[in-house]
Amino acid sequence: MFAPRAGRPLGAVAVILVVIAALLVAGVLPHPLVTVVAMSVGTAVWAFLAVFFRDPERTPAEGIVSAADGRVREVAREGERWRVSVFMNVTDVHVNRLPVDATVESVGDSGSGYRPAYRPDAAHNVQRSYRLATPVGPVEVVQMTGVVARRLVGFVRAGWSGRKGDRFGMIVLGSRVDVLLPASRVAPAVRVGDRVRAGETTIAREVT
């Protein structure tokens, strides 16, 4: 399965490959080497996009699950909230998922610049915040850009409701996703360095 909105780039490259093949059959291309290079480049680009836009089905685990694939870069308490930050590299699945059943209360853009997403000052980068009403209280999910990853894609708007593991957006070419959780209601279940999968890996559990 491919991510939402993947059809256009994948289809465009596929059309180019078909055109090259048609020109080859018609004998229009000036030299065999041109055909080999063009087909090789086109196929490589299509394969990269197919891997990048992959969107496998996931079965949510118990508790609060990760919003992104990648590696946990920070688990920190900030006042009344826990921040669980996940760094995504270019080989990770880039579709982001709800960490818990939720209704989107608001979606807002902020920040400036495109610092490396693994650095602490990346918290000031261009970002998009999703404020959620959930059974464990207010939760915020923040998509952050990086040096290369500068496109934040949202699939939802304020008022939308979804289940844990539902897709709400993606980041093109990596970067970072933070989940901020109410410290009075949940406790982290991951540590820095852990590998996590969006919509599947438990990152926090309710406290009693």
pLDDT of residue 44: 66
Q: Which of 4-13, 30-39, 152-161, 188-197 has the lowest average pLDDT?
A: 4-13
- Write down the CATH superfamily of domain 64-206: Glucose Permease (Domain IIA) (2.70.70.10)
Percentage of the chain exceeding pLDDT 70 = 71
Is it the case that residue 133 has pLDDT exceeding 90?
A: yes
Give, in order, the Cα–Cα distances in Å from 86 to each of 46, 68, 104, 108.
27, 7, 21, 20
Q: Which of 94-103, 169-178, 182-191 has the lowest average pLDDT?
A: 169-178
What is the distance between the alpha carbons of residues 74 and 86, in angstroms, rounded to a whole number? 7
What is the distance between the alpha carbons of residues 102 and 91, in angstroms, rounded to a whole number? 28
Q: Which tens digits make up the pLDDT trace of 14-34? A: 566 666 666 666 666 666 666
Residue type, 194: D
Catalytic residues: 175
Q: Which residue has the higher pLDDT, 96 or 152?
A: 96
Q: Which residue has the higher pLDDT, 110 or 174?
A: 110
Q: Which among 11, 10, 68, 19 is positioned nearest to 39, based on CA atoms? A: 19
Residues in a beta bridge with 170: 95, 153
Model confidence at 188, in pLDDT bands (50, 70, 90)? Answer: very high
pTM (2 d.p.) = 0.77
Mean pLDDT rounded to a whole number for the chain: 84
pLDDT of residue 19: 66
pLDDT of residue 146: 76
Q: Which tens digits make up the pLDDT trace of 55-114? A: 889 999 999 999 999 999 999 999 999 999 999 887 888 899 999 999 999 999 998 887
Model confidence at 180, in pLDDT bands (50, 70, 90)? Answer: very high
For range 136-151, the mean pLDDT: 86
pLDDT of residue 68: 95
pLDDT of residue 166: 97
Q: Which among 19, 44, 26, 66 is positioned nearest to 165, based on CA atoms? A: 66
pLDDT of residue 116: 73
